[in-house]
A and B are shown apart, each in its own frame.
Chain A
Amino acid sequence: MSFGKFLLKRSLQGLVVIWGVVTVLFGLRAITPGDPVNLIVDPAVDQATRDRIREELGLDQPIYVQYVDYLQDLLVGDLGYSYQSSRPVTTMVLERVPATLELAVAATVIALVIAIPLGVISGTRRNEPADYGATSFSLVGISTPNFWLGIMLILLLAVQIDIFPTGRRPVAFHDALWTFLTTFYVGDLLTWLHHIILPAVTLGTYFTALITRLTRSGMLDEYGKPYVTATEAKGIPGVLIRYKHVLRNTMIPIITVLGLQFGTLLGGAVVTETVFSWPGLGLRLIDGINNLDWPLIQGIIIFIGISYVVINIAVDAIYAKLNPRVIDE
């Protein structure tokens, strides 16, 4: 199979998954007890108005007609209107994406910057104090709920020693960057950084722990292979072997796991955003669920599902480029 065919096949499978996600959400909305009309207007309103709203929402149609309408709307990017605020859901989702993206990227960067050196040290100095330190850290990091970690960070670094804010996002990264590029004023960027550090550490700790573990075990596996002995015999310095050859081979499974764990990252973002009042998709999802605002819930979860599928196709594509044997498996 060629790479193009492989990509096409994976994309088609991805489409099936997205269709499944969309259908599951339609089903969940349909079986939710209660009349959505009551969520839009006062339950005491007269029957004529209720019927009119019902008709506008298409709720008077048979369920399969509603389903087809829903799919047609989705194809053109129309996620409907929020019950609570009557705003278009597509806008409500998109305007919250930057905040969540900032958080997810910052958390991933923190995780990679800390975890990879830690994993390399741990894997190359097996059973030395540094290794014990790194493995204990990763055990605790994997076992700590991120919302509690966030609250403990607030307690220590925002309440006891007042060096970080307890939450909120006073300025968006793209705005701060724009200000900097146009006026060379760096203050907004610093404010942004000051506010994102605690949430990003909170969200990133689990991944730091996970990647440390993976890097360590990957290094241990790779070190047993003959090519390492061969490069050592050629007199190539240890640092170069560790970081250039061994680490590169270890990175392949790490990238795959990062793709698969992307969902966990977004799930973690929901909780982290709640702890720090970070105005992203997660905080809006919680609002939606508290109000049973199904168009909003649907819209956010569809967005998350599609991102997950797209990221995993991209990861598979990178993987196939790095290791063409997988294409034929």
Chain B
Amino acid sequence: MISDRIKSNLSREFRESLLAKVGLVLLVAILIMGLFAPVLATHNPHTTGYFDDDGNAYPPMGVSYDSHQWVDGERVTYTAEPSADHYLGTNNIGQDVFSRLLFGARTSLMVGVFGTGLAVLIGVPFGLVSGYYGGRVDDAMMRVADIMLAFPSLVLALALIGVMGSLTIPIPDPFVFAGVADGMPASTPLPGTVTLVVGLVTWVWFARVARGEAMSIRNEEYVKAARSLGANDREILLKHVLPNSLTPVIVLATIQVAAIILLESSLSYLGFSGTTLSWGYEIQQGQDYLRTAWWVSTVPGIGIVLSVISINLLGDWLRDSLDPNIEGEGGGAG
């Protein structure tokens, strides 16, 4: 597990690294944004329509946002500019961009963390078994990994979504039930298919790292000692190989959260999200209104970039202090 030497290394590197601190502050801010979205948001993110300073309702009575209206060849929208009521304006159907930014952070972080968790659960056992047994088992298992790698993650994710369709799992909102978030949606939708799919397309990176670790650990003296004392393979894998290979897995998991946030945003930009409370979806919505409402696409993009940068900075810090030679997708854009 994590030894005292590694701990002191981590804290020394952290004291010295300004970037790691910047990353941590940013990430904590984004976590608070996402976690407390129902409390911090000024509007229900689903509510369409707004009032101007004179109290006039938009859209006017009898006009629907859904029916695309054209006047003199221009698409008519009722997008509010940033104001005291709507800090970051509204989107093309009058929803509050600021509130949707907060809820979008929730979706991104949930998909990032759960998706990475799934990838670890599949990839690490796969890699450990492959590296520990070696030989033909390893050859066969690594061919499977090669097949996975021949698919670009985004492309395979799209194909899997084609198979599964868009499933959403509603997650109850603790703040709403505690009665502190009036007028907020009672649950946040977790895009279930997307979470499953991002785990299924990225586990192979964990398998490769775990395999490398298992290959070097299996020849260590303490493993030989354990074996000569009568420990079987299962005990050795669980008690010795797994704990000692965790460090690079933790580093990779950090970076993969960032990679998965990017992947989720790409999928929802392409229209395969399962939830509308997603930064990528919001950017796609705003693309048609760049001329009249630049903020709709711009704001959520800044959210993505800052989250990914903060996670990558922390990942760099972990990698520098623990210094395992690992490769991974990194923050693979797209």
Contact = CB atoms under 8 A, between A and B. Distances in A.
Interface of A: 13, 16-18, 20-21, 24-25, 28, 31-33, 139-148, 151-152, 154-155, 159, 203, 205-206, 210, 260, 263-264, 266-268, 270-272, 274-275, 285-286, 289-290, 292, 294, 297, 301, 304-305, 308-309
Contact of A301 (B147, B151, B269): B151
Contacts of B41: none
**What DSSP secondary structure best describes chain A's contact surface?**
helix
A143 B305 CA distance: 6
A139 B155 contact: no
Contact of A268 (B156, B162, B287, B334): B334
A196 to B, nearest CB: 17
B230 to A, nearest CB: 35
Given A148-B305, A155-B297, A263-B153, 4 more contacts: A152-B301, A268-B334, A286-B158, A301-B151
Interface in B265-289: 265-266, 269-272, 280, 283, 286-287
B145 to A, nearest CB: 10
Given A151-B283, A274-B270, A308-B150, A289 B162 contact: yes
Given A145-B266, A148-B301, A155-B297, A28 B331 contact: no
A33 B167 CA distance: 14
Contact of A267 (B143, B152, B309): B152
A262 B312 CA distance: 22
Given A159-B290, A285-B155, A145 B304 contact: yes
Contacts of B271: 290
Contact of B334 (A13, A267, A292, A304): A267
A271 to B, nearest CB: 5
B29 interface: no
B231 interface: no
B154 interface: yes
A263 B159 contact: no
A263 B146 contact: no
B143 A146 contact: no
A260 B330 CA distance: 13
B203 to A, nearest CB: 14
B274 to A, nearest CB: 14
B163 to A, nearest CB: 5
4 tightest Cβ-Cβ pairs between the two chains A and B = A267-B152, A268-B334, A20-B147, A267-B154
A145 B150 contact: no
A268 B150 CA distance: 15
B130 to A, nearest CB: 16
Contact of B304 (A148, A155, A206, A260): A148
A324 B226 CA distance: 39
Contacts of B332: 206, 264
A143 B312 contact: yes
Contact of A21 (B150, B265, B291): B150
B120 interface: no
A24 B304 CA distance: 32
Contacts of B146: 13, 16-17, 20
**B309, B331, B334 interface centre (most CB from chain A within 10 Å):** B334
